[in-house]
Amino acid sequence: MKKLLSVLMLAVMMMAFVGCGGSKGDSDAPVVGDWKLATVEAMGVSMTVDEFAALSGSDDVKMEMSIKADGKFSASLGDISGEGTWEYTEPTLTLSSDGESMTGEYKDGKLTLQMEEAGESYSMTFEK
C-alpha cells in the first residue's frame, strides 16, 4: 500500500512542477481560489487527508492549490511546489504543466481531480 501511496504522490507532484505559459483563465469561474486537499480515493477506498497521512507514515500531508484568475495555478505539497496553467469549461477543469495535463470536475463547491496510474484510478477532492 505504501508503494501505491508513493505513486499517487508522485503523479500529483508531476502535475505541479513548472509548467508552460498558456491561455487566460476566467475570473468568474467557480474554480478560482485557494484549495486544500480534503479526501483521497485509491483502489476503491476513500480516506480523509488525516487517514491518508497516517497510512503514508507522515504526520501531515498538506497539499494546497491556488487557481488564479489569470489562467495560472500553483500547487504545493510540503516544501515541494510548482505551477502551470488551467482551463475551465463547466464542469471540467484541466490543469496543464510541463506538457502533461490532468482533468477534474467542479461540483457542489468541490473540485475532484482524476488520474490513472498503472491501470488504477485515483481521485483527490479539494475544498476551499
One digit per residue, the tens of pLDDT, for the chain of length 128 reads 444 444 445 445 444 433 333 334 557 899 999 999 999 888 788 988 888 778 777 766 788 999 999 999 999 877 788 899 999 999 999 999 988 888 999 999 999 998 877 788 888 999 99
pLDDT at 60: 65
Dist CA 79 CA 73 (whole Å) = 17
pLDDT at 121: 83
pLDDT at 112: 96
Side chain identity at residue 87, one-letter code: E
**Cβ 111 vs Cβ 90: under 8 Å:** no
**Cβ 125 vs Cβ 114: under 8 Å:** no
Which residue do the cell numbers 505539497 mark?
77
Which residue do the cell numbers 489569470 mark?
70
Q: Tell me how far the alpha carbon of residue 62 is from its chain's centroid.
A: 12
pLDDT at 5: 46
